[in-house]
Structure 1
Amino acid sequence: MQQRQTRDVRLDLFKGVALLIIFVNHVGGNPLAKVTPGRFGPSDSAEIFVFISGYAIALAYGPVLAERGFAACQRKALGRCRQLWAANIATMLASALVVALAVHVAGLPMEASNRLASFAPLFESPATAMAWHLVLMYLPFALDILALYILLVAAAPLFLWSYARFGMAAVAMSVALYLIAQAVPGLMPPNLWEGGWNFSPLAWQCVFFLGASLALAVRSGQVPLPRSPWLLAAALAVVIGMALWKGAASDLGRALTPDDLEVWLPTRTIPWADKDTLGPMRLLHFLALVCVAALLVPRDAAWLNSGPARMLTACGRHSLPVFCVGVVLAIAGTAVLLAGKSLPVVLAVNLGGVAILLVLATVLERRRTRRQPAAQVASPAPSPSGTAVAETH
Structure 2
Amino acid sequence: MQQRQARDVRLDLFKGVALLIIFINHVGGNPLAKVTPGRFGPSDSAEIFVFISGYAIALAYGPVLAERGFAACQRKALGRCRQLWAANIATMLVSALVVALAVYVGDLPMEASNRLESFAPLFDSPVVAMAWHLVLIYLPFALDILALYILLVAAAPLFLWSYARFGMAAVAGSVALYLLAQGAPGLMPPNLWEGSWNFSPLAWQCVFFLGTSLALVVRSGKVTLPRSRWLLAAALAVVVGMALWKGAASDLGRALVPAGLHGWLPEQTIPWADKDTLGPMRLLHFLALACAAALLVPRDAAWLRSAPARLLTACGRHSLPVFCVGVVLSIAGTAVLMAGKGASAVLAVNLGGIALLLVLALVLERRRTRRLPAKATAGPASPSSSSTAAAVPETS
User: Normalized against structure 2, the TM-score is what?
Assistant: 0.98
Query: How many residues are matched?
Result: 393
Q: Is the 8 A contact 2:77 2:156 kept in 1?
A: yes
Any idea what the Cα deviations from partners look like across 1:99-153, whole Å, max 9, x if unmatched?
0000000000000000000000000000000000000000000000000000000
Structure 2 CA distance for partners of 1:379 and 1:284, relative to 1, 3 Å: farther
For residues 300-319 of structure 1, the aligned pairs below 5 Å read: 300-319=300-319
Shift of 1:388: 1.5
The residue aligned with 1:345 is 345
Q: 1:389 aligns with which of 370, 377, 392?
A: 392
Q: Percent identity?
A: 86
Residues 37-94 of structure 1 deviation map (CA, whole Å, 9 limit, x = unaligned): 0000000000000000000000000000000000000000000000000000000000
Residue 167 of structure 1 deviates from its aligned partner by 0.3
Unaligned runs of 5+ in 1: none
Residues 316-358 of structure 1 show CA distances to partners (whole Å, capped at 9, x for unaligned) of: 0000000000000000000000001101110110000000000
1:309-388 matches, cutoff 5 A: 309-381=309-381, 383=386, 387-388=390-391
2 CA distance for matches of 1:269 and 1:120? 33
Name the aligned partner's letter for residue 236 of structure 2. Answer: L
1:229 aligns with 2:229: yes
Task: Please show how residues 112-261 of structure 1 align to structure 2 within 5 Å.
Answer: 112-261=112-261
Letter in 2 for 1:337: L
| Cα distance in 1, alignment partners of residues 379 and 265 from structure 2 | 62
The 8 Å contact of residues 5 and 386 in structure 1, kept in 2 or not, is answered as no
Q: What is the rounded CA distance, in whole Å, between the counterparts of 1:91 and 1:219 in structure 2?
A: 35
Q: Which residue of 1 aligns with 2:272?
A: 272
Instruction: Classify 1:139/1:260 alpha carbon distance in 2 versus 1 (closer, same or farther; 3 Å).
Output: same
- In the TM superposition, residue 262 of structure 1 has moved relative to its aligned partner by 1.2
1:69 matches 2:62:
no
Q: Give 1:137's aligned amino acid.
A: I
Per-residue deviation, 1:165 = 0.4
Distance 1:284 1:42, change over 3 A: same
Residue 31 of structure 1 is matched in structure 2 by 31
Change in CA separation of 1:281 and 1:379 when aligned onto 2, cut-off 3 Å: farther
Question: What is the match of residue 51 of structure 1?
Answer: 51
The DSSP-based 3-state class of the residue aligned with 1:10 is: helix
Q: CA deviation at 1:374?
A: 0.5
**CA distance, structure 2, for counterparts of residue 264 and residue 189 of structure 1:** 41
CA shift digits 1:241-292 (9 cap, x unpaired): 0000000000000001011111110000000000000000000000000100
Instruction: Indicate how the Cα distance of structure 1 residues 201 and 64 shifts in structure 2: closer, same or farther if over 3 A, else same.
Output: same
Give the distance between the partners of 1:21 and 1:388, measured in 2 at CA.
Answer: 28
State the Cα distance separating 1:385 from its structure 2 match. Answer: 12
Amino acid at match of 1:283: L
C-alpha displacement at 1:378, in angstroms? 2.0
Q: Is the contact made by 2:376 and 2:388 (CA closer than 8 Å) also made in structure 1?
A: no
1:172-208 CA-to-partner distances (Å, cap 9, x unmatched) read 0000000000000000000000000000000000000
Output aligned runs, 1:14-25, within 5 Å. 14-25=14-25
In structure 2, relative to structure 1, the CA distance for the partners of 1:94 and 1:199 (3 Å cut) is: same
Using the alignment, how far apart are the partners of 1:222 and 1:19 within structure 2?
32
Q: Tell me, in whole angstroms, the C-alpha distance in 2 between the residues paired with 1:133 and 1:46.
A: 22
Label 1:201 to 1:320 Cα distance change in 2 as closer, same or farther (>3 A).
same
The answer on whether the counterparts of 2:53 and 2:395 sit within 8 Å (CA) in structure 1 is no
5+ residue gaps in structure 2?
none
Q: Distance in 2 between matches of 1:222 and 1:325?
A: 40
Q: CA deviation at 1:227?
A: 1.1
Cα 1:379–1:114, aligned 2, differ >3 Å: closer, same or farther? farther
Q: Give the C-alpha shift of residue 383 in structure 1.
A: 4.0
Q: Output the amino acid matched with 1:32.
A: L
1:222 Cα deviation from its structure 2 partner: 2.1
Native 8 Å contact 1:51 1:209 kept in 2 = yes
**Does residue 1:101 correspond to 2:101, yes or no?**
yes
Residue identity matched to 1:296: L
Secondary structure of residue in 1 paired with 2:328: helix
In 2, the alpha carbon distance for the partners of 1:231 and 1:170 equals 26
The reply on whether 1:281 has 2:284 as its aligned counterpart is: no
Contact 1:3 1:385 in 2 (8 A): no
- Residue 12 of structure 2 is matched in structure 1 by 12
The Cα RMSD (Å) is 1.1
- The corresponding residue for 2:3 is 3
Whether contact under 8 Å (1:204, 1:278) holds in the other structure is yes
Asked if structure 2 preserves the Cα contact closer than 8 Å seen for 1:3 and 1:219, the reply is no
Q: Could you tell me how far apart the structure 2 residues matched to 1:286 and 1:137 are?
A: 28
Instruction: Give the structure 2 partner of residue 293 of structure 1.
Output: 293
